[in-house]
């Protein structure tokens, strides 16, 4: 079976203006989310606060839950679980008196309303404001370090131009995932950070495969122009790029189907990241290598 | 690449066999002889899958410095009494300095001469006449303060470890995180979580101080506390009615003795059947206690735990023998827990809970089921997809993929590594499948190109592997590089994800390159296959 027939020769580089336009629009759309929707909804990992997952033995109403928790929190965010049943996610500020007995307190308050034995606290997470701030800083630090490591690796194994092109692609992918999370109002937590770092580790592979081909072809296609070499390289690896992305997306979709809340958002980040990562490695990385060629020539021969 | 095909197949066979042995305990109880020669522990599940308690505590280490200063205050006043130096007051004036108020400059000179050198780590920062005498300011050396803080955190970890061990949790994990934080993980603990938290975070600082019987308690309550004394409460909660009563006591600040000298604490009923806690002191403690009781006969000795007075009996006579009791209206549980923390030792400083993650067991079970389903579906889709697209070669890649999964879990139970499987870790395993297959896709695409150029199946295969090799290494290494910064995120689920992903990628290089190649070579050599189904 073959998805991409051999000798396919799509003029990716020749049509790079469309790619530039699309990329620019996507980045603007993603960044525009921030002034329009406000900043991304930070999970309690990063903002601090309390998140409780409760399962009720009988029918429960969001308003009842809110009423029951009134003594503890003025305005908790109560969200019914997507997957059937009477399961709720409750999010609130860390109460004044600290979180030592929080689980007990919540249980007592809810049992008063819904009856003994009707309330099961399935998980409770409390992150103090100090830890939240630390984790925010480490998150930014982790992303910067990952990008820097990848840039160094690319420069070491390939060329500076390819390294810059690849890292720009990754930043592009990250901006789009971020924009997706702001637009959809999904929560950005540690798991999503993990997804983002995985995405950049994954997306750079596509770019590496193309760059590896470019390096090979530079040796054999001495007469052709750089544009032709880039085009040939992308076309030669196109089948692999689509196939691998396709297989990985199959896995991501199965995570979307079976995942719980946490894993579903994780899978969404991967889905967006892999789709745009595949796009950017084809349409963004190589044109950038070409554009940078004037300043940082790709070595020939 | 190892030339001998037999050797390669043997390596693969041994690896497979080893994985099966490593994973066997994860599926059920093992026969007794097993544990003797092989690891008998199943895959370690993270808190999010197994249920349990995860705490991040902050040791308020400055309080330990303050405690040392308070101790120095007691020592200094005792020494001055002994040297007959006349002073009006010694007290802690800031978190790291002491103020000594002496009668006049002559006494101050005596202080400099006799006492100052005995106060290690303290420096005189100012001295001069004041309203009611002569004032000397002493400052604790910042290096010494730092060392106290450092030791406090270490000691807190040891103490919490002791307490957690006493709780009887399997595989507890108590580690220092950063400079002053402690991560406590109690996997599998799903009942009595609040009680566990109480036991872990109780300071359990036991102090013996004299009741200030000369001072006016009523005036003190109104705000006129005599210098050198303080008000501490006795809090009683009637176990039957739940009514709480507070009785204030005026207590001398001077610290006579602490609970550091305890060797044992246990719950006993007294003559009236109430729960009391009996304590034994070590030899130093016994001597100290004997001296204190001897010096203060007919005075009241307050027994104070975490700034709460438990009892304040009148000392009837010198007490030798090195034991004492704590009375209070305890429920049997409270008494048991209190004896436990006293035995395990006090925390050198109070701790504050910065992060608390509690997962119930049912949620963990749900997550395991969903994670398993996601992996199964992902695996099924990829296996079918590869077989359809690359036919027989796809099946070879599928075999490698399944072996990859087996190896990931086997490596996770390797003794010495003992990685933890978390919910994001399961996602990492699923994701690895997509990435592991990439190596074979890269090879097979190259092989197809070679075949199109008219090369024989054997040569095409050889060239395919050779040409794809460096790019496979590159892509796996870069993914590992990007996951590395995640490992710093404590011991939580995210670290589990990063570790699982890295293991998966490393294993995939073995399965996708080494294993598939051996299978292909075997078919060419043994089965004399001439063409390649790809």
Q: What is the pLDDT of residues B296-345, one digit of tens each?
A: 999 999 999 888 898 888 888 888 888 888 887 777 888 888 888 888 88
Provide, as residue numbers in chain A, all residues whose Cβ is less than 8 Å from the Cβ of B184.
Answer: none
Strand ranges (E), B253-393: 257-258, 262-269, 275-281, 301-305, 308-311, 323-326, 351-359
From the list B208, B232, B206, B233, the residue with the least C-alpha distance to B348 is: B206
The phi, psi pair for B293, rounded to 5°, reads: -65, -35
Q: What is the pLDDT of residue B229?
A: 87
How far A113 CA lies from chain B's nearest CA (Å)? 21
Flag if A53 and B363 touch (Cβ within 8 Å). Answer: yes
Flag if B366 and A260 touch (Cβ within 8 Å). Answer: yes
Flag if B481 and A98 touch (Cβ within 8 Å). Answer: no
- CA B253 to chain CA centroid, Å, is 34
How far A154 CA lies from chain B's nearest CA (Å)? 9
How far A285 CA lies from chain B's nearest CA (Å)? 16
Provide, as residue numbers in chain A, all residues whose Cβ is less than 8 Å from the Cβ of B485.
Answer: 141-143, 145-146, 149, 197
Best residue in A150, A244, A249, A264 to probe B by mutation, most B CBs within 10 Å? Answer: A244
Can you tell me which residue has the tokens 């002994």?
A: B82
- The answer as to CATH 1.10.600.10 being correct for domain A16-43+131-292 is no
**pLDDT for B111 beyond 70:** yes
Provide, as residue numbers in chain A, all residues whose Cβ is less than 8 Å from the Cβ of B189.
Answer: none
Flag if A246 and B431 touch (Cβ within 8 Å). Answer: no
Q: How many CB atoms lie within 10 A of CB B182?
A: 22
Starting at the edge strand that comes first in sequence, how are the strands of the sheet with B275-281 ordered?
Answer: B262-269, B275-281, B323-326
How far B528 CA lies from chain A's nearest CA (Å)? 24
Provide, as residue numbers in chain A, all residues whose Cβ is less than 8 Å from the Cβ of B487.
Answer: none
Per-residue model confidence as pLDDT tens digits over A70-99: 888 878 888 877 555 678 888 888 876 666
Among the partner residues A53, A201, A239, nearest to B445 by beta-carbon distance: A239
Provide, as residue numbers in chain A, all residues whose Cβ is less than 8 Å from the Cβ of B435.
Answer: 202, 205, 248
CA–CA gap between residue B363 and residue B370 (Å, rounded): 11
How far A156 CA lies from chain B's nearest CA (Å)? 11
* Beta-carbon pairs below 8 A across chains A and B: 224
Flag if A131 and B56 touch (Cβ within 8 Å). Answer: yes
From the list A137, A143, A119, the residue with the least C-alpha distance to A46 is: A137
For residue B473, name the pLDDT band (cuts at 50, 70, 90).
Answer: very high
For residue B394, name the pLDDT band (cuts at 50, 70, 90).
Answer: very high
Flag if B377 and A257 touch (Cβ within 8 Å). Answer: yes
| B243: CB partners within 8 A, 6+ apart | B237
Q: Where are the domains of chain A?
A: 16-43+131-292, 49-126
**pLDDT for B524 beyond 70:** yes
Task: Say if strands B44-45 and B244-252 run parallel, antiparallel, or are unpaired.
Answer: unpaired
**Higher-scoring residue by pLDDT: B491, B257:** B257
For residue B495, name the pLDDT band (cuts at 50, 70, 90).
Answer: confident
Note whether B101 and B133 are within 8 A (CB). yes
**Mean pLDDT value across residues B470-485:** 90
Provide, as residue numbers in chain A, all residues whose Cβ is less than 8 Å from the Cβ of B433.
Answer: 247, 251
How far A125 CA lies from chain B's nearest CA (Å)? 4
Best residue in B478, B484, B493 to probe A by mutation, most A CBs within 10 Å? Answer: B478
Q: What is the mean pLDDT of chain B?
A: 86
CA–CA gap between residue B162 and residue B187 (Å, rounded): 16
Provide, as residue numbers in chain A, all residues whose Cβ is less than 8 Å from the Cβ of B470.
Answer: 212
Flag if B482 and A200 touch (Cβ within 8 Å). Answer: yes
Total-model pTM: 0.82
Flag if A131 and B198 touch (Cβ within 8 Å). Answer: no
Q: What percent of chain B has pLDDT over 70?
A: 97
CA–CA gap between residue A209 and residue B472 (Å, rounded): 9
Flag if A197 and B482 touch (Cβ within 8 Å). Answer: yes
Return the CATH number of A49-126, one of 3.40.718.10, 2.40.50.140, 3.30.70.3190, 3.30.479.10: 3.30.70.3190
| A168: CB partners within 8 A, 6+ apart | A284, A285, A288
Flag if B493 and A191 touch (Cβ within 8 Å). Answer: yes
CA of A55: which chain B residue's CA is closest? B363
How far A21 CA lies from chain B's nearest CA (Å)? 29
Q: At what angle do helices B361-412 and A226-258 cross, to 10 degrees?
A: 140
| A263: CB partners within 8 A, 6+ apart | A191, A255, B370, B371, B374, B423, B424, B427
Per-residue model confidence as pLDDT tens digits over A140-185: 999 999 999 999 999 999 999 999 999 999 999 999 999 999 999 8
Among the partner residues A190, A205, A237, nearest to B478 by beta-carbon distance: A205
For residue A212, name the pLDDT band (cuts at 50, 70, 90).
Answer: very high
Per-residue model confidence as pLDDT tens digits over B26-59: 777 767 776 666 666 778 888 888 888 889 999 9
Helix (H, G, I), strand (E, B) or coil at A158: coil
**Mean pLDDT value across residues B405-432:** 85
Note whether B335 and B267 are within 8 A (CB). yes
The phi, psi pair for B120, rounded to 5°, reads: -60, 150
Flag if B194 and A104 touch (Cβ within 8 Å). Answer: yes
Among the partner residues B366, B374, B494, nearest to A194 by beta-carbon distance: B494
Best residue in B46, B180, B485 to probe A by mutation, most A CBs within 10 Å? Answer: B485
Provide, as residue numbers in chain B, all residues whose Cβ is less than 8 Å from the Cβ of A122.
Answer: 359-360, 362-363
Flag if B362 and A252 touch (Cβ within 8 Å). Answer: no
Flag if A142 and B488 touch (Cβ within 8 Å). Answer: yes
Fill in the DSSP letter of residue A290. H
Task: Report DSSP letters for B341-364, one per residue.
Answer: HHHH---SS-EEEEEEEEE-HHHH
**Higher-scoring residue by pLDDT: A82, B257:** B257
For residue A26, name the pLDDT band (cuts at 50, 70, 90).
Answer: very high
Among the partner residues B363, B371, B497, nearest to A123 by beta-carbon distance: B363
Among the partner residues A55, A100, A200, nearest to B197 by beta-carbon distance: A100
Task: Say if strands A41-42 and A187-188 run parallel, antiparallel, or are unpaired.
Answer: parallel
**pLDDT for B289 beyond 80:** yes
**pLDDT for A121 beyond 70:** yes
Burial of B237 (0-12, 13-18, 19+ CB in 10 A): middle
Best residue in B306, B371, B374 to probe A by mutation, most A CBs within 10 Å? Answer: B374
Flag if A190 and B452 touch (Cβ within 8 Å). Answer: no
Q: How many CB atoms lie within 10 A of CB B127?
A: 18
CA–CA gap between residue B432 and residue B475 (Å, rounded): 13
**pLDDT for B416 beyond 60:** yes
**pLDDT for B209 beyond 70:** yes
Provide, as residue numbers in chain B, all residues whose Cβ is less than 8 Å from the Cβ of A126.
Answer: 353, 355-357
Flag if A100 and B497 touch (Cβ within 8 Å). Answer: no
CA–CA gap between residue A139 and residue A148 (Å, rounded): 14
For residue B126, name the pLDDT band (cuts at 50, 70, 90).
Answer: confident
CA of B495: which chain A residue's CA is closest? A194
Provide, as residue numbers in chain B, all residues whose Cβ is less than 8 Å from the Cβ of A130.
Answer: 58, 354
Q: What is the pLDDT of residue B23?
A: 84
Give the domains, in start order, of chain B with CATH numbers.
Answer: 5-19+361-525 (1.20.1640.10), 53-62+144-357 (3.30.1360.200), 63-142 (3.30.70.990)
- CA B287 to chain CA centroid, Å, is 36
CA–CA gap between residue B44 and residue B163 (Å, rounded): 23
Per-residue model confidence as pLDDT tens digits over B90-101: 888 888 888 888
Per-residue model confidence as pLDDT tens digits over A218-227: 989 888 888 9
Flag if A247 and B358 touch (Cβ within 8 Å). Answer: no
Flag if A149 and B449 touch (Cβ within 8 Å). Answer: no
CA of A138: which chain B residue's CA is closest? B489
Among the partner residues A104, A208, A244, nearest to B478 by beta-carbon distance: A208
Q: At what angle do helices B361-412 and A261-280 cross, to 10 degrees?
A: 50
From the list A287, A244, A156, the residue with the least C-alpha distance to B431 is: A244
Q: How many CB atoms lie within 10 A of CB B384?
A: 13
Provide, as residue numbers in chain A, all residues whose Cβ is less than 8 Å from the Cβ of B373.
Answer: 254, 258
Q: What is the pLDDT of residue A177?
A: 95
Strand-pairing partners, residue B184, are B55, B174
**Mean pLDDT value across residues B413-430:** 82
Provide, as residue numbers in chain A, all residues whose Cβ is less than 8 Å from the Cβ of B481.
Answer: 146, 149-150, 153, 201
Q: At what angle do helices A160-184 and A129-157 cross, to 10 degrees?
A: 150
CA–CA gap between residue A301 and residue A45 (Å, rounded): 51
Note whether B181 and B373 are within 8 A (CB). no
Q: What percent of chain A has pLDDT over 70?
A: 95
Q: Which residues of A168-202 are buried (b: 16+ CB within 10 A; e: fewer)?
A: bbbebbbbbbbbbbbeeebbbbbbbbbbbbbbbbb
Provide, as residue numbers in chain B, all residues whose Cβ is less than 8 Å from the Cβ of A142.
Answer: 485-486, 488-489
User: CA dist B11 to A207, B155, B520, Å?
Assistant: 34, 48, 16
CA of B452: which chain A residue's CA is closest? A6
**Mean pLDDT value across residues A92-108:** 75
């Amino acid at each position: 079976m073959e998805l991409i027939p051999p000798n396919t020769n799509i003029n990716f580089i020749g049509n790079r203006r469309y790619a530039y336009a699309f990329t620019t629009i996507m980045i603007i759309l993603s960044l525009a989310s921030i002034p329009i929707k406000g900043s991304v909804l930070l999970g309690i990992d990063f903002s601090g606060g309390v998140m409780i997952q409760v399962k009720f033995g009988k029918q429960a109403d969001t308003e009842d839950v809110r009423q029951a928790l009134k003594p503890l929190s003025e305005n908790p965010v109560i969200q019914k679980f997507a997957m059937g049943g009477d399961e709720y996610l409750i999010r609130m500020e860390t109460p004044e008196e600290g979180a030592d007995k929080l689980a007990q307190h919540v249980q007592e308050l809810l049992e008063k309303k819904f009856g003994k034995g009707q309330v099961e606290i399935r998980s409770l997470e409390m992150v103090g404001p100090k830890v939240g701030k630390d984790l925010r800083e480490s998150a930014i630090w982790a992303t910067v370090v990952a990008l820097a490591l990848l840039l160094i690796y690319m420069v070491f194994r390939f060329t500076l131009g390819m390294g810059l092109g690849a890292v720009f692609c990754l930043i592009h992918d990250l901006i789009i995932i971020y924009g997706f999370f702001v637009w959809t109002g999904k929560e950005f937590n540690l798991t999503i950070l993990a997804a983002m770092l995985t995405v950049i580790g994954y997306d750079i592979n596509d770019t590496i495969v193309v760059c590896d081909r470019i390096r090979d072809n530079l040796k054999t296609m001495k007469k052709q122009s750089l544009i032709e070499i880039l085009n040939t390289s992308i076309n030669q690896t196109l089948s692999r790029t689509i196939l691998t992305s396709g297989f990985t997306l199959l896995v991501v979709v199965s995570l979307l189907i079976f995942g719980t809340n946490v894993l579903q958002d994780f899978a969404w980040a991967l889905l967006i990241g892999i789709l745009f990562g595949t796009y950017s490695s084809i349409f963004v990385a190589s044109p950038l290598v070409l554009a940078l060629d004037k300043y940082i020539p790709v070595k020939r021969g | 690449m190892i030339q001998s095909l037999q050797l390669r197949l043997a390596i693969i066979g041994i690896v497979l066999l080893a994985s099966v042995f490593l994973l066997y305990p994860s599926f059920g109880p093992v026969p007794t002889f097993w544990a003797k020669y092989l690891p008998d522990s199943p895959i370690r599940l993270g808190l999010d899958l197994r249920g349990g308690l995860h705490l991040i505590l902050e040791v308020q280490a400055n309080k330990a410095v303050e405690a040392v200063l308070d101790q120095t205050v007691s020592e200094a006043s005792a020494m001055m009494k002994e040297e007959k130096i006349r002073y009006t007051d010694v007290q802690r004036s800031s978190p790291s300095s002491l103020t000594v108020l002496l009668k006049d400059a002559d006494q101050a000179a005596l202080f400099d001469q006799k006492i100052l050198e005995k106060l290690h780590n303290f420096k005189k920062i100012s001295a001069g006449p004041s309203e009611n005498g002569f004032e000397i300011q002493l400052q604790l050396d910042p290096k010494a303060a730092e060392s106290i803080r450092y030791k406090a955190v270490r000691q807190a970890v040891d103490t919490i470890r002791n307490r957690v061990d006493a709780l009887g949790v399997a595989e507890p994990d108590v580690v220092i995180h950063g400079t002053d934080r402690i991560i406590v993980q109690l996997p599998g603990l799903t009942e009595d979580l609040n009680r566990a938290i109480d036991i872990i975070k109780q300071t359990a600082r036991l102090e013996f101080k004299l009741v200030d019987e000369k001072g006016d308690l009523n005036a003190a309550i109104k705000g006129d506390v005599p210098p050198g004394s303080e008000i501490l409460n006795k809090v009683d909660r009637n176990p039957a009615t739940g009514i709480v009563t507070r009785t204030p006591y005026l207590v001398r600040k001077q610290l006579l003795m602490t609970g550091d000298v305890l060797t044992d604490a246990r719950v006993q009923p007294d003559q009236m059947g109430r729960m009391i806690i009996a304590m034994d002191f070590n030899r130093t403690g016994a001597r100290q206690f004997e001296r204190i009781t001897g010096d203060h006969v007919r005075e009241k000795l307050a027994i104070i735990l975490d700034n709460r007075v438990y009892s304040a009996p009148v000392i009837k006579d010198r007490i030798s023998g090195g034991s004492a009791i704590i009375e209070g209206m305890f429920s049997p549980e409270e008494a048991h827990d209190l004896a436990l923390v006293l035995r395990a030792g006090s925390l050198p400083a109070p701790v504050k809970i910065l992060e608390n993650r509690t997962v119930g067991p049912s949620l963990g079970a749900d997550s395991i089921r969903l994670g398993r389903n996601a992996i199964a579906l992902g695996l099924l889709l990829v296996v079918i997809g590869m077989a359809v697209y690359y036919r027989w070669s796809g099946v070879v890649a599928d075999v490698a993929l399944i072996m990859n999964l087996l190896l990931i879990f086997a490596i996770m139970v390797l003794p010495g590594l003992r990685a933890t499987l978390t919910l994001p870790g399961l996602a990492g395993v699923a994701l690895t499948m997509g990435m592991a297959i990439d190596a074979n896709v890269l090879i097979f695409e190259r092989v197809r190109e070679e075949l199109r150029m008219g090369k024989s199946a054997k040569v095409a295969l050889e060239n395919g592997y050779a040409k794809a090799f460096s790019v496979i290494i590159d892509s796996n290494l870069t993914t590992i590089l990007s996951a590395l910064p995640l490992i710093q995120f404590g011991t939580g689920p995210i670290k589990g994800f990063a570790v699982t992903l890295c293991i998966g990628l490393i294993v995939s290089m073995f399965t996708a390159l080494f294993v598939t190649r051996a299978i292909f070579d075997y078919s060419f050599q043994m089965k004399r296959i001439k063409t390649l189904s790809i």
